[in-house]
Amino acid sequence: MFIPKRILFQKNTLNYEIGKNIYNFFKDNENIEIVELNNNRVKDKIPGDGIYDFYREGKNTLVVGVHSGIKFQSCKPSAHYQLPLFSGCIGQCEYCYLNTNLGDKPYMKVNVNVDAILEQAQKYIDERLPEITIFEGSATSDPIPTEPYTHSLAQAIKFFSNSSNGRFRFVSKFTDVDSLLDIKHNGNTEIRFTLNTNKIIKDFESRTPSMEKRIDAAIKVIKAGYPMGLLIAPVFLYEGWKDDYRNLLLHLHNKLPEDIAYPITFEVISHRYTTRAKNIILEAFPQTTLPMIDEDRTFKYGQFGYGKYVYGKEQIREMKNFFEMEINDIFRNKEIKYII
């Protein structure tokens, strides 16, 4: 559970039930600064002159806000739309793509107008009938750490449990899933966990749970009857990477229960970075050992129009062949969504 150093309530958020719940949960904690803003100027209340300090202070800040606008962003290849309940993450993963998307907003933000967000989701569902419409709850966030006092995921899971054509999915590195296990979900929500090798977690994923704890949380989710998926990302092609990722898959398989209601889904994403992200990373983590040598990569444009540095075609082909073969050999009840 995320215990912030400061909580910034944007204008009118205390008029919502979630805003009140957060305030009441933390109001008696003398170690937490609580600020009610008269406007939405968040950055003025987060100390730190440069990126190095501002990043760390931001990672200890919770912003309570209202999602404005009715248009949801697309979310390929994970889903049709983002479900904008949250943004940001409390982890300090050096490679994180949020260093590009939220470079000047490293704080965790929760939106309190969940009812309005779900109403808009229903409109998108109705527009695409009779097709199934899938919503991603973690496109720009890791939503689990604030769940014990927001219950936003629980509300979304209950909403989608009654939907014949709407589906919900989200992914996390964190393990506070106990409050979600007894919710009636009707198999309409898929909970996924991001996994990586012990080397990558140790070297680059500060302030996140161990691989073992993530697998334990995944098993809890499976036993609660949820569809469960695994995001293996980002994959780094370092010396010995095949042995490490193979051992990860074998260890996971050995811990899984025998009876699984739904196929385990796999999404595998290779490491990539943008120039903007690289510059922010080097300021936030000046001692980083992330492999970001432009000359060792291939430059390509992504779906949102900006360029990124990726592994070369032969390396990607080798990675795809490796994960396809290993996942198919090790797991029976599974589905590979994509390997990119």
Which candidate, 145, 209, 204, 207, places its Cα nearest to that of 180? 145
Report the alpha-carbon distance of residue 195 to residue 270 in Å, rounded.
13
Residues 258 and 273 sit within 8 Å (Cβ to Cβ): no
Residues 173 and 166 sit within 8 Å (Cβ to Cβ): no
State the DSSP code for 326: H
DSSP E strands, the chain: 6-9, 33-36, 61-65, 74-75, 79-82, 86-87, 92-93, 108-111, 133-136, 166-172, 189-195, 205-206, 228-235, 264-270, 298-301, 307-310, 334-339
Report the alpha-carbon distance of residue 41 to residue 107 in Å, rounded.
13
Residue in the block written with tokens 């943004």: 87
Residues 188 and 167 sit within 8 Å (Cβ to Cβ): yes
Which has more confidence, 303 or 324? 324
Which candidate, 145, 96, 65, 61, places its Cα nearest to that of 278? 96
Which candidate, 223, 211, 140, places its Cα nearest to that of 173? 211
pTM of the model: 0.94
Q: How far is CA 127 from the centre of its chain?
A: 27
**What pLDDT is recorded for position 50?**
85
Output phi, psi for 281, to 5 deg.
-60, -45
Residues 59 and 106 sit within 8 Å (Cβ to Cβ): yes
Report the alpha-carbon distance of residue 192 to residue 263 in Å, rounded.
12
- Distances, alpha carbon 145 to alpha carbons 50, 62, 76, 294, in Å: 26, 11, 24, 34
All residues at 6 or more sequence positions from 281 whose CB lies less than 8 Å from its CB, including other chains:
94, 95, 99, 273, 288, 290, 292
Lowest-pLDDT range, 65-74, 110-119, 186-195, 249-258? 65-74
User: Domains of the chain (ranges plus CATH)?
Assistant: 6-339 (3.80.30.30)
Instruction: Tell me the pLDDT tens digit for each residue of 161-210.
Output: 999 999 999 999 999 999 999 999 999 999 999 999 999 999 999 999 99
Q: Is the pLDDT of residue 98 over 80?
A: no
Percent of the chain whose pLDDT exceeds 70: 97
Instruction: Tell me the pLDDT tens digit for each residue of 37-96.
Output: 988 889 889 998 888 999 999 999 999 999 988 799 999 888 999 999 999 999 999 999
Which candidate, 169, 213, 329, 338, places its Cα nearest to that of 266? 338
Output phi, psi for 5, to 5 deg.
-80, -30
pLDDT confidence tier of residue 304, bands split at 50, 70 and 90: low
Residues 106 and 22 sit within 8 Å (Cβ to Cβ): no
Positive or negative, the CA dihedral 134, 139, 78, 252 is negative
Q: How many CB atoms lie within 10 A of CB 132?
A: 14
Q: Is the pLDDT of residue 102 over 80?
A: no
**What pLDDT is recorded for position 37?**
95
Residue 126 corresponds to which tokens in the numbers above?
């109705």
Q: Is the pLDDT of residue 301 over 90?
A: no
Instruction: Tell me the pLDDT tens digit for each residue of 202-223.
Output: 999 999 999 999 999 999 999 9
Average pLDDT over residues 231-236: 97
